[in-house]
């Protein structure tokens, strides 16, 4: 769920003072981000990137952007997650785009749990951000498992590039006002209310945490997963990738899905003209062709 900062986001500029991001350094950063994150930074993003990265310069004790670029040249992987966090904003919520969850609840989970008794069920939340998406999937999965009384090895993999987002997802603690999309019944069932210093916060129920495995992963690099998935959620991620990156990613998703597995995209995303491996079966829901 990582969204590139938009033109109107001035959060990275407020009170920003320090070294300027020169043309040569910005050109390097643009190429680095495109190569390692698949995100194309336009010329108009230069000032915004400068404001966001000033935080990293201060944290690392670096005097200027040339020094930061040299750090990336020496060891790209050491700073990649932090860089991605700086230039992106985590936009997510529980049960965002509810029609996707309705499809899971009404059709997919009942069918899978009936077909897979004694077998395995795997769902991947790719670009999981701070965890609201995989935990929402875990809620409907746990409820479906109870209704079906099915013995199924069911797990959800949640991945993201941002270290900060992953840390928040692992903690599973959220302000109460972040539960706007969660029904009262689910609030009571799946969240533990905080006390004392955590008054006004809730924590995800341990049962849901058991269903979700949270791991760092760069979608553009190698994927360590061995088995295939029944469904992949990659919502509001690929919209910022260039066309060749989208094409490669969709081809890799097709290879990672079971026959007739499902791929869920965000409300502004489409696979039109980018892949022949999927059929559109609903609003931003695609099924892998056999």
**Full DSSP string of 39-91:** BPPPGGGHHHHHHHHHHHHHHHT-SSHHHHHHHHHH-HHHHHHHHHHHHEEE-
- Catalytic residue numbers read 52, 160
What is the distance between the alpha carbons of residues 195 and 201, in angstroms, rounded to a whole number?
Answer: 8
Question: By CB neighbour count within 10 A (0-12 exposed, 13-18 middle, 19+ buried), where does 155 fall?
Answer: middle
What's the distance, CA 265 to chain centroid?
A: 11
Sheet holding 173-175, edge to edge: 173-175, 201-204, 191-193
Dig out the tokens for 46 from the structure.
Answer: 């230069």
Q: Residue 126 in 3-state DSSP?
A: strand
Q: Are strands 191-193 and 201-204 parallel, antiparallel or unpaired?
A: antiparallel
Q: Give the closest residue to 206 by CA, choosing from 168, 172, 156.
A: 172
The residues, any chain, with a CB within 8 Å of residue 287's CB and separated by 6 or more, are 260, 261, 262, 263, 278, 279, 281
Question: By CB neighbour count within 10 A (0-12 exposed, 13-18 middle, 19+ buried), where does 85 fall?
Answer: buried
- In eight-state DSSP terms, residue 47 is H
In whole angstroms, how large is the CA radius of gyration of the chain? 20
């Amino acid at each position: 769920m990582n969204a590139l900062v938009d033109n109107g986001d001035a959060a990275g500029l407020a009170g920003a003072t320090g070294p300027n991001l020169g043309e040569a350094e910005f050109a390097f950063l643009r190429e680095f981000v495109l190569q390692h994150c698949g995100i194309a930074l336009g010329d108009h993003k230069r000032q915004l990137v400068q404001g966001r990265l000033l935080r990293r310069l201060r944290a690392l004790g670096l005097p200027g952007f040339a020094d930061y670029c040299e750090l990336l040249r020496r060891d790209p992987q050491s700073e990649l997650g932090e860089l991605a966090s700086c230039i992106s904003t985590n936009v997510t919520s529980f049960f965002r785009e509810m029609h996707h969850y309705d499809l899971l609840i009404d059709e997919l989970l009942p069918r899978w749990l009936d077909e897979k008794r004694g077998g395995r069920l795997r769902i991947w939340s790719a670009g999981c951000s701070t965890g609201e998406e995989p935990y929402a999937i875990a809620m409907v999965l746990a409820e479906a498992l109870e209704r079906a009384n099915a013995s199924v090895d069911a797990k959800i993999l949640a991945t993201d590039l941002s270290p900060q987002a992953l840390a928040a997802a692992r903690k599973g603690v959220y302000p109460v006002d972040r539960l706007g999309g969660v029904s009262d019944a689910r609030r009571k069932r799946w969240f533990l209310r905080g006390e004392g210093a955590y008054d006004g916060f809730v924590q995800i129920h341990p049962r849901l945490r058991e269903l979700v495995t949270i791991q760092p992963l760069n979608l553009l690099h190698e994927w360590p997963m061995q088995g295939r998935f029944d469904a992949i959620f990659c919502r509001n991620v690929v919209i910022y990738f260039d066309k060749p990156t989208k094409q490669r990613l969709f081809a890799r998703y097709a290879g990672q899905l079971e026959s007739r597995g499902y791929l869920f995209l965000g409300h502004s995303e489409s696979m039109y003209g980018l892949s022949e491996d999927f059929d559109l079966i609903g609003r931003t829901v695609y099924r892998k062709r056999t």
